[in-house]
Amino acid sequence: MIPKETVDLILDTARVEEVIGDFVTLKRRGSSYVACCPFHNEKTPSFHVTPSKGIYKCFGCGKAGSAVGFVMDYEHMTYPEALRYLAKKYNIEVKEEEETAEQIAARQRSESLLAVSDFARKFFCDQLKDGEGRAVGYQYYRKRNIQDATIEQWSLGWAPGGKTTLVDAARAAGYKDEFLVAAGLAIQTEDGSLIDKFRERVMFPIHSVSGRVIAFSGRTLKADNPAKYVNSPETEIYIKSRNLMGIWFAKSGIAKEDRCILVEGNVDVVMMHQMGITNVVASCGTSLTEEQIRLIGKFTQNITIMYDGDKAGLHAAIRAIGLILKEGMNPKVVFLPDGDDPDSYSQKHTLEEIREFIADNEKDGIAFKTELLLKEAGDDPLKKANLINEIADTVADIPDAIKRQVYIGTVAKQFGIEEDIIQDRVRKTREHSLQNAAKERARSASANDAFSLANNRADAPENASSAAAAVSTLSREEQIMGPSERELLGFILQYGRNELKFETDSEFYDGETPQTVAEFIDSALAADDVHFVNAPYEATYQAYFGQYDEGKAQDDIVKALLDGEDRSVASVVADLSTEKYELSVHNFSDALTTTDSWLVTYVPRAILVFHDKRVTARQNELSRKLREPNSPEDVIKFMQELGKLTEIKKSINIKLGRLKK
């Protein structure tokens, strides 16, 4: 761990324009710099660097942050890795805090496994250069049109089957037997001797996201061998479900293209990269997992599935669509012409032709699934009804409310049925899923823990059913509340330490010490025990007040949040700090010429707008409940609450000047 004093020194020393200037050609424009964004393709510069604030922001793709954030985003580093990079750039010595004996032992063991894996990589590469490897392995790669430069780049190799063994070579180099076994490179027989796991196979190394070799995939060249591929077992350094073939080579291309192409085979990945399509990965010989999707999610939210068009490939694509949607990401599907896979297709076409084919033929994931299942259903009404329910259940897995609503409309139109029917199925499916999740949590936690959790969360539901209802309305609230939450957070981040100097005749004047903007907003929300619905905004709000309560100055708080490890918080802060806040009202009076007079007018107004949106969100929820079957008592209760909310909304709008008394 890097000591806090060193972290502070690194962050204070790093200059955002110097750091970014190492990667991007910046052009001065006044007191700032501009460039074409390194995170997406553009011809007109929309990437701005503001040294005075230590911030960069692209007004095209929305990427924003500080110097350490840029290194994390551009180089795909973790927070500690980015700090070490900056320390090296500015010649700052980093003395890690002392590790425990257990931590040292674990790190040393991990390094030993990585070292022996890298030795194996070099061994397999060397074996390809002459003898059996040259005659068999190298000829296979050339037959597949894999070029020498690609063989070298990917460290493709050959596992020999004769007297030369990896075990003997590793022992001669001083590597211990236990590490050969633990790294999945050797197998211990019943008599205690070691034999190579991989023999007479062309070898494809699997790299971690940081570029270390952590496993191998070996393909036999013998037609009578039923085990076409043999892959490394799971080890301390390799968990199959968390890694992707080619991710080390693809991560920059994925980020640049803002899309990941997912294929099935090792050769498919290699050949697509050789063609120049560098945003391609495969799932290491396993079915796609949630962890692999989340790994892709570090670089893009968009995944194009390019599997084989056989029955197994179609089934795998359908499953992948559901997993990707469930993770809140955007799946598309493209199938190559009959008989082709990415490898064979890439050898028949130019780079431009492949890119055009993908762009012209990829389909939205849900649209593809609907089309495929409709063909299977034919004219059978029962099958069609089941299909509609299945598609609605797929839509229900989408976390983002706006995306869900768009898909609900699209599916309803596609099947020619009322949108409310799909909406109702989606709602019930989500509630059922949330109830099951709540029951599962209850089973895994003690009664006391559950009681404590419910009483320490302001939004904790009283039971599983109300939990489902609360969460199912959360995303609807987010749509309504987002702009007003953004407005309040903008005031806090830009003017949090400014005092609100109300006139003595103001309803907010209490004759005591003036409150700051941050304190005034926090008090207004705390009075009703209200939290932001938008998760990044709420995280930023809490992080701000964590710094504020320590007595830090406004600029120091903003800098700490920008330089923090939480990238979602840093992005929000950069976004709302890059330019002066845009008011949601348009009747700015010329008389309000000072910041003080402006703030005492518009901060209270922003709070009123926020509460108005809260009332609207609750009214919408009650109206939805009234459309459902209810007991007479519930109907009366809902109607009474709606009446109270109408009066509250009227009072708010009078204060806002929208209505007359």
CATH number, residue 214: 3.90.980.10
pLDDT-based confidence at residue 449 (cuts at 50, 70, 90):
very low
Q: What residues make up the domain containing 402?
A: 372-443
Helix segments in 128-204, DSSP class H: 131-132, 139-143, 148-154, 166-172, 177-182
Helix segments in 79-146, DSSP class H: 79-89, 101-127, 131-132, 139-143
pLDDT at 200 over 80: yes
155 contacts 201 by C-beta, under 8 angstroms:
no
209 contacts 180 by C-beta, under 8 angstroms:
no
3-class secondary structure, 584: coil
Tell whether 434 is covered by a domain.
yes
33-43 mean pLDDT: 85
The C-alpha atoms of residue 227 and residue 220 are separated, in whole angstroms, by 7
For 410-432, what is each residue's pLDDT tens digit?
Answer: 888 888 888 888 888 888 888 88
Which of 324, 339, 361 corresponds to the end of one domain? Answer: 361
Cα–chain-centroid distance for residue 635? 41
**DSSP code string of 451-507:** HHHHHH-TT--SSHHHHHHHHHHHHHHHHHHHHHHHHHHHHHHHHTTSB----TTST
In angstroms, how far is the first alpha carbon of the chain from the final one?
62
The C-alpha atoms of residue 195 and residue 171 are separated, in whole angstroms, by 12
Q: What is the pLDDT of residue 125?
A: 96
pLDDT at 597 over 80: no
Q: What is the pLDDT of residue 512?
A: 64
Q: What is the pLDDT of residue 370?
A: 84
Q: What is the pLDDT of residue 149?
A: 95
403 and 296 in a common domain: no
205 contacts 121 by C-beta, under 8 angstroms:
yes
The C-alpha atoms of residue 63 and residue 48 are separated, in whole angstroms, by 10
pLDDT at 9 over 90: no
Tell whether 94 is covered by a domain.
no
Extract the tokens encoding 197. 């796991």
- Which conformational region is residue 91 in: left (phi greater than 0), alpha (psi within -120 to 50 degrees), or beta? left
8-23 mean pLDDT: 89
386 and 351 in a common domain: no
Which of 427, 443, 459 corresponds to the end of one domain? Answer: 443
pLDDT-based confidence at residue 589 (cuts at 50, 70, 90):
very low
Higher local confidence (pLDDT), 43 or 183: 183
Q: What is the pLDDT of residue 300?
A: 85
Query: Which residues 6+ apart lie within 8 Å of 365 measured at CB?
Result: 305, 321, 324, 325, 330, 331, 332, 333
Percent of the chain with pLDDT over 90: 28
Query: Which residues 6+ apart lie within 8 Å of 267 measured at CB?
Result: 144, 146, 343
Cα torsion for 557, 560, 561, 567, to the nearest 10°? 180
Sign of the alpha-carbon torsion through 248, 252, 257, 259: positive
519 and 609 in a common domain: yes
Of 252, 259, 406, residue with least CA distance to 334: 259
Higher local confidence (pLDDT), 372 or 586: 372
Of 507, 518, 501, residue with least CA distance to 651: 507
Query: Which residues 6+ apart lie within 8 Å of 255 measured at CB?
Result: 39, 73, 76, 299, 300
For 133-178, what is each residue's pLDDT tens digit?
Answer: 999 999 999 999 999 999 999 999 999 988 889 999 999 999 999 9
Give the count of domains, the chain.
5
For 476-508, what is each residue's pLDDT tens digit?
Answer: 666 777 788 888 998 999 888 888 887 766 676
Of 491, 497, 488, 600, residue with least CA distance to 548: 497
For 305-345, what is each residue's pLDDT tens digit?
Answer: 998 877 788 888 989 998 998 888 899 999 888 778 888 88
Q: What is the pLDDT of residue 640?
A: 87
pLDDT-based confidence at residue 360 (cuts at 50, 70, 90):
very high
Cross-sheet strand order for the sheet of 157-159: 157-159, 201-207, 213-220, 229-231
Of 432, 388, 383, residue with least CA distance to 412: 388
625 and 478 in a common domain: yes
Extract the tokens encoding 249. 């080579």
Q: Letter for the amino acid at 408? A: I
- Name the one residue in this structure whose structure tokens are 């699209």: 410
Q: What is the pLDDT of residue 244?
A: 94
430 and 300 in a common domain: no
Task: Note the pTM of the prediction, 2 decimals.
Answer: 0.59
Q: What is the pLDDT of residue 233?
A: 93
Angle at 596 between CA 591 and CA 597, to 5 degrees: 30
Tell whether 460 is covered by a domain.
no
The C-alpha atoms of residue 452 and residue 457 are separated, in whole angstroms, by 9
279 contacts 254 by C-beta, under 8 angstroms:
yes
Number of CB atoms found within 10 A of residue 293's CB: 23
pLDDT at 445 over 80: no
384 and 496 in a common domain: no
Higher local confidence (pLDDT), 278 or 619: 278
The C-alpha atoms of residue 526 and residue 286 are separated, in whole angstroms, by 49
pLDDT at 205 over 70: yes
Higher local confidence (pLDDT), 218 or 623: 218
Tell whether 179 is covered by a domain.
yes
**DSSP code string of 518-554:** HHHHHHHHHHTT---SSHHHHHHHHHHHHHHTTT--H
76 contacts 209 by C-beta, under 8 angstroms:
yes
The C-alpha atoms of residue 431 and residue 437 are separated, in whole angstroms, by 10
Average pLDDT score over the chain: 83
For 620-654, what is each residue's pLDDT tens digit?
Answer: 888 888 888 888 888 888 888 888 888 888 888 88
Q: What is the pLDDT of residue 505?
A: 63
Tell whether 453 is covered by a domain.
no
283 and 155 in a common domain: no
Q: What is the pLDDT of residue 474?
A: 41
pLDDT-based confidence at residue 466 (cuts at 50, 70, 90):
very low
The C-alpha atoms of residue 241 and residue 285 are separated, in whole angstroms, by 10
Which of 32, 64, 89 corresponds to the end of one domain? Answer: 89
Q: What is the pLDDT of residue 477?
A: 60
The C-alpha atoms of residue 225 and residue 221 are separated, in whole angstroms, by 8
Higher local confidence (pLDDT), 364 or 478: 364
pLDDT at 518 over 70: yes
523 and 572 in a common domain: yes
Q: What is the pLDDT of residue 459?
A: 35
Of 235, 169, 237, residue with least CA distance to 209: 237
186 and 307 in a common domain: no
636 and 495 in a common domain: yes
Of 491, 510, 459, residue with least CA distance to 583: 491
270 contacts 205 by C-beta, under 8 angstroms:
no
Of 550, 546, 540, 527, residue with least CA distance to 458: 527
For 520-566, what is each residue's pLDDT tens digit?
Answer: 888 888 767 778 888 888 889 989 988 888 888 888 898 889 888 88
pLDDT-based confidence at residue 120 (cuts at 50, 70, 90):
very high
Q: What is the pLDDT of residue 46?
A: 86
Tell whether 660 is covered by a domain.
no
pLDDT at 463 over 60: no
Helix (H) or strand (E) holding 47, with range, is strand 47-50
Q: What is the pLDDT of residue 160?
A: 94
For 79-115, what is each residue's pLDDT tens digit?
Answer: 888 999 999 999 998 877 676 788 778 878 989 999 9
292 and 428 in a common domain: no
Q: What is the pLDDT of residue 649?
A: 83
496 and 643 in a common domain: yes
Tell whether 448 is covered by a domain.
no
The C-alpha atoms of residue 366 and residue 320 are separated, in whole angstroms, by 11
Query: Which residues 6+ apart lie within 8 Å of 57 measured at CB?
Result: 47, 48, 50, 63, 64, 574, 575, 578
pLDDT at 242 over 60: yes
Tell whether 464 is covered by a domain.
no
pLDDT-based confidence at residue 226 (cuts at 50, 70, 90):
confident
Q: What is the pLDDT of residue 354?
A: 92
Q: What is the pLDDT of residue 458?
A: 33
CATH number for the domain harbouring residue 10: 3.90.580.10
**DSSP code string of 323-363:** HHHHTT-EEEE--PSTT--HHHHHHHS-HHHHHHHHHHH-E
